[in-house]
Amino acid sequence: MIKHAYIHIPFCEKICTYCDFCKMFYHEKWVNEYLDQLEKEIKTKYNNDTLETIYIGGGTPSCLNIKQLEQLLEITTNLKKSTNLEFTIECNFENTTKEKLQLFHKFGVNRLSFGIETINKKQAEFLGRNISKKQIIKILNTAKFIGFTNINVDLMYAFPNQTIIDIKEDLEFLFSLDINHISTYSLIIEKNTKIGLQNIKSISEDLEYEMYNYICQELGKRGFIHYEISNFAKPNYKSKHNLCYWKNKEYYGFGLGASSYLENKRITNTRSLTKYLQEEYIKEEEIIIKEEQIEYEIILNLRTKEGINLKKFKNKYGIEVKDAYNYFSLLLHGLLKEEQENLFIPEDKWYISNEIIVKLLEGEKEV
Ligand code: SF4
């Protein structure tokens, strides 16, 4: 039974300088054709499972006009929903209106995720974004008034020339908004983005580490639980949808460039709008054999505070983690911890989690 679904809306009004996602400029006709096709794709793939989470991401779903949003949300009424459904939609402050928020609420959306990234004018300009504090406060107040209580904002850091003081100002503003989930991202300069082509250099690893540490400490002081390497939530507000990825659960992915994990297969949709509109949804399918599933499980679980639940792991794969990997030396050096039923990376070592995971996987035993 699949409990999670992701729906991709690849349209944006503006293209940010750092963006490497599957996106394109908003065009009314393309959106209309896309939504018709999305409905068909969902009908072809969806197996009538009762969903616990639906996540509409992008691109910028909120850049669709009211009629298009209504069509999109109407499509989701064909999905069976559990009574405790978490239903998220990604929004940008520039194009979210009271009318759109009311529509989301009417269709059962109960979680909003906004990209703020930074409120520093120069850095926002560098990212190709332009939002005022006033606009943010107004939209969030409207959302809360309508009844949204579960709100995430994205914070980005590690910009060239950024200082800890700049981050402090961004955080103070976020705290004043009284929201309950913050996702953080360090700026990664990808080759094929505008800033990548301008040859902009990343900041030093040491400074990035200092910034990450600072953010973790400040969010901790404000009562946010650091439940995944980059994600922080007030109690009871962890993202159930994102946890499905980190727990290596199966999920549907609908829309351009979306990927699904179904029946031990990773299915990636095409990024070509032309192909998608011709019903050629799938670009590639990869069968994930048991050894790879185990690797994914370990890599993804170890991103979270809980880490790997050893009992569930044994039930799922019929093997103990300690029989599959030799991680004694990692335990000895404090890079992994085992407590009760869980094997996890201690929070103060999350910054080097990639290195720890590589070391763990290198300790694979012949079974
Ligand atoms: S970062 Fe988001 S809003 Fe900006 S171009 Fe990429 S998908 Fe669109």
Domain ranges for the chain: 4-245, 308-367
Query: Nearest residue CA, atom 7 of ligand 1?
Result: 59
SS3 breakdown of the chain: % helix, strand, coil, rounded to 5?
Answer: 45, 25, 35
The pLDDT-based confidence of 329 (bands split at 50, 70, 90) is very high
Mean pLDDT to the nearest integer, 104-130: 94
The pairing of beta strand 11-12 with beta strand 24-25:
parallel
Question: Is the pLDDT at 60 greater than 70, yes or no?
Answer: yes
Q: What is the pLDDT of residue 131?
A: 86
Spacing, Cα 65 to ligand 1 middle (Å): 17
Which atom of ligand 1 lies at the shortest distance from residue 128's CA?
4
71 pLDDT exceeds 70? yes
pLDDT top residue among 308 and 195? 308
CA 12 – ligand 1 centroid, Å: 6
Q: Is the pLDDT of residue 143 over 70?
A: yes
- Whether 21 lines ligand 1, by a CB cut-off of 6 Å, is yes
pLDDT at 33: 98
59 lines ligand 1 (CB under 6 A): yes
CB of 116 shorter than 6 A to ligand 1? no
Residue 349 structure tokens: 């070592």
The helix/strand/coil state of 293 is helix
Mutational pocket test of ligand 1: of 60, 93, 154, 189, the residue with most ligand atoms within 8 Å of the beta carbon: 60
User: What is the crossing angle of helices 310-317 and 290-301, to 10°?
Assistant: 160
**Residues written for the chain:** 367
By the 8 A CB rule, do 150 and 182 touch? no
Q: Give, using CA atoms, the residue closest to atom 1 of ligand 1.
A: 19
16 Cβ below 6 A of ligand 1: yes
Q: Could you write out the three-class secondary structure of 341-365?
A: CEEECCHHHHHHHHHHHHHHHHCEC
Question: What is 4-245's CATH number?
Answer: 3.20.20.70
Q: At what angle do helices 66-76 and 98-106 cross, to 10 degrees?
A: 10
Residues 6+ apart with CB under 8 A from 92: 13, 60, 62, 63, 114, 115, 131
Q: Which pLDDT value is given to residue 201?
A: 86
The response to whether residue 15 sits with its C-beta less than 6 Å from ligand 1 reads: yes
Q: What is the pLDDT of residue 367?
A: 59
User: What is the whole-number distance in angstroms between the Cα of residue 363 and the centre of ligand 1?
Assistant: 39
For residue 172, name the pLDDT band (cuts at 50, 70, 90): very high
**Ligand 1 nearest atom to the CA of residue 59, by list position:** 7
Q: Ramachandran region of residue 236, left (φ > 0), alpha (ψ -120 to 50) or beta?
A: left
- Closest protein CA for atom 2 of ligand 1: 59
Mean pLDDT, rounded, of the chain:
96
Nearest to 310 by CA among 337, 328, 290: 337
